[in-house]
Structure formats: structure tokens, C-alpha cells
Structure 1
């Protein structure tokens, strides 16, 4: 009776993980927690700027296509959340939305949830799979930008790992805000939500550092301007 009660509780809660004895379905592990900067302070931004490689402008490198970074939201990557039975998009939705509901108790497919304070706008955004584009997964350092800045020369698996880096580079955001950002960096685009600007700039610099990607002079100048305002 106790075992039956526990199974029922897991089903009602919308848990994404199969219970023991559920059959041959592959185990679905919890999504990896998405790392956030320990403090988006001006000092942290300045520290990243000291080690950043700066180029005058973004070069133009031919050949970019989304599939140069692998299948969209593949689970076949080497970072946190990789090979856990869930694709990267659903890992991020599960980690960053609240009030998450899954398709079934054994499925990691997120069908609804809420961004209570969407990073780029500060607004509350409701996610429903039937209108999935309302919430998109943004690459803070965009793929096309990374291609131009050096990723075109990377091995294929490194590009896949970059595109699915849940710990550093991915953020669930408002769809229209993500479209307005496109493949820009801080030198061309900043979030409407002023409260998130310091975090956005720091995370952009951290991703650039992690993958040895340069930033533009415009990115650097924006980071220098905002750093004194960051606590």
C-alpha cells in the first residue's frame, strides 16, 4: 500500500522521472541546475574585462548554419544535462520555469509553466506548448556570433557542447525579446529590464571567457559603462 501511495503522489506532482519497476523506458534524470553568476557586481564585470580578448568589430565568416552546431537541443552533448534522456530545451524549461507540468508522469516534455519574472522584460510570461514560441531558449552569446568569432574553426563536438551549455549560455526568455536580440552582443543590444542588465553583461563575458571567444570593442565599452552601476 505504501508503494502504491508513493507512485500516486509522483504522478499527481507531474514528476518527470519513472518509478522503480516502470518497465523498459529509459531513465530520465533531473535537469541540470542552470548556473548563475555568484554576483553580477561591477568588480566581477571588470575582472572579466581584464582577461577578455577584444576585436575592433565582429568579422564576417561565411558558412554559418544552425546545424553547424548540431541538431537543435540535442541531448548528445558533454555538459551538464547531457545524455540524461531529455533534450536541452526541456531541461532548461524545467529548470527555469515555475509551476511546471509535464506531458505525462514519465515524460520530460514540459507542456506548461511560468516565467514569473522573465529576464529580458521583467514581465510574467505563461508558457503553453500549444504556443511554444512565447518562451524561447536564448544563447546569451549567440551561435552565429560565435561562428564569426572563432567557432567556425572548432571541432564539431565543441560546437555542439557550446550550443547546449545549460550551465553558462542558455536562458529561457520572452520570444519577442529574443527575436529583437537576434545575434547581437551587449554592444548592440541590452535587455529592456534594467534590473537584469548587469547579469546579462556578466554572463556574456563569462561565456566568452569560458570558450576563448573575443568580444567587440562595442561590447567592452558597454560593459565598462554599466559596471559602475552594478552592485
Structure 2
């Protein structure tokens, strides 16, 4: 039996539509698989709770986070007989010299490339240049307080304040400019360190069960999306772990 031209055309169109329907999901599935996977740091960001910031009421740096640079906390590298500030100076500076008779107190050294400004900074204790360097809390303690730190134990807050993961030797002027701001309102002017900076903040917030605010999460995601292979820093990473003296 011969089919009319119209019927043959109708059958051909129906067959083409059926084949297209069969192949469409495969094409869509392949396209979905082509999307790059999130970096470990971005995945960690996605796991953080998102809430509005609390208030600073009740916040006191010494009362809530301990005397500065305690060596008696549970932070990694603590209880080595040296205060945390000198531990971080020894880790981050080059050409370090200790004060005479001490294996703890850093007398001088060079920050070859400040993470916040990219500048070289010379440090000499007890001279004017010593004020050019600060040890910064990457997650500022005020920010930690309003994003869950209030609920931490005293021991955990003191560990957070002295954890090498949350500390870096940086330009004092840049640190003062930053203050207690989070990533939504302040990032280092040295753009090459922004991925590490934000990844370290994410790692600290994850470790200490802190949350991020909606604007902070948006800003962090924007930075992380520019660093598709950014790992999540850990306490054992070079550049984080304290050096042995």
C-alpha cells in the first residue's frame, strides 16, 4: 500500500520529534556535567549558616577573648613558651633575629610582601618601624562576636583569638582601616591575596561554628568564584602552621 505524500511527511515529522525528545535530556545532562565543580573553599562557604549579624552588646576584647596573645589556650601551637604574637612574627617574617638571650621575642625581620598591600615592610622592635606591623585577626573578633562567637565557650573564644589559621602579620595602617569589617565591606587592596584571605575566613568560620551574613556570603562567593581551584586552608598548611624554633 502506498502512502500519500502528506501522510509520509506527517510520519517523518513525528519520527524527527520523537528522536529529538530522546536526545534532549542527554544533551541537557551533558551540559550540566560541563559546569565546573565548586572548589573546596567555595563548598565550605556553601555549608556555612547564613543569618543577620547580632549586636555588639556584651563584647569586650579582653573579657570575652582573653588577654592578647595568650600562650595558654587550646589553639594549635600554643603552650610553647612564646606568646602568639611572636610566634606569628617568626612564621611570617624573613631574616628574623631574636632579642639577645631569647628564643621567643622577635627583635627584627622583614615582611617581604604584605598580604594586604603588597608592600615590603621592615620590622624592628621598640623602634618606630615596629608600629608598621600588626598581627591581624582575619575574622575580626568583633565580627566573630556578632556571628556566633557570643555563644562559644570562653576557652573556644580564646583559641579563636590565638589560632594561627586566623592570624597574619600585616600592614598596621591597612589593619586599622579594616577594623571589625567583614568581606562585604573590606578586602585587601593586594588583589592577589584575596582568594587566600577569604578562604582563611571561611575556614575559621567553619572551624568555630560561626555564621556569615547575607552580604558577607555574597561578597565571599564573588571572590571564590574567581578562584575555582581554591583549597580550604587547614591548620597544617604551609603559611598557617607555626614554625619550630
Q: Using structure 1 for the length normalisation, give the TM-score.
A: 0.78
Q: Which residue of 1 aligns with 2:156?
A: 158
For residues 181-196 of structure 1, the aligned pairs below 5 Å read 181-196=178-193
Structure ID, larger Rg: 2
Q: Which residue of 2 aligns with 1:43?
A: 39
| Residue number among 126, 141, 144 corresponding to 2:142 in the alignment | 144
Shift of 1:105: 4.4
| Residue number among 90, 96, 99 corresponding to 2:92 in the alignment | 96
Give the Cα–Cα distance (whole angstroms) in 1 for the partners of residues 87 and 67 of structure 2: 16
Name the SS for the 1:158 alignment partner. Answer: helix
Could you list the per-position Cα deviations for residues 103-153 of structure 1 after superposition, in whole angstroms to 9, with x for gaps in the alignment?
024331011101101101111011111232211001111111111222222
For residues 168-207 of structure 1, the aligned pairs below 5 Å read 168-207=165-204
Q: Which aligned segments of 4 or more residues in structure 1 are displaced greater than 3 angstroms?
A: none
- 2:77 corresponds to 1:74: no
| Residue number among 120, 125, 128 corresponding to 2:121 in the alignment | 125
Give the Cα–Cα distance (whole angstroms) in 2 for the partners of residues 48 and 63 of structure 1: 29
Q: Which residue of 1 aligns with 2:26?
A: none
| Residue number among 105, 109, 114 corresponding to 2:105 in the alignment | 109
Q: Using structure 2 for the length normalisation, give the TM-score.
A: 0.73
Corresponding pairs, count? 189
Give the Cα–Cα distance (whole angstroms) in 2 for the partners of residues 50 and 226 of structure 1: 13
Shift of 1:42: 6.4
Instruction: Indicate conservation of the 8 Å contact 2:42/2:225, yes or no.
Output: no
Name the SS for the 1:120 alignment partner. Answer: coil
Unaligned runs of 5+ in 1: 1-40
Instruction: Indicate conservation of the 8 Å contact 1:140/1:200, yes or no.
Output: yes
Give the Cα–Cα distance (whole angstroms) in 1 for the partners of residues 87 and 178 of structure 2: 22
| Residue number among 201, 210, 220 corresponding to 1:223 in the alignment | 220
Give the Cα–Cα distance (whole angstroms) in 1 for the partners of residues 144 and 65 of structure 2: 10
The CA RMSD measured in Å over matched residues stands at 1.5
- 2:212 corresponds to 1:210: no
Name the SS for the 2:39 alignment partner. Answer: helix
Unaligned runs of 5+ in 2: 1-36, 230-245
More helix by share: 2
Instruction: Indicate conservation of the 8 Å contact 1:45/1:223, yes or no.
Output: no
Instruction: Indicate conservation of the 8 Å contact 2:54/2:147, yes or no.
Output: yes
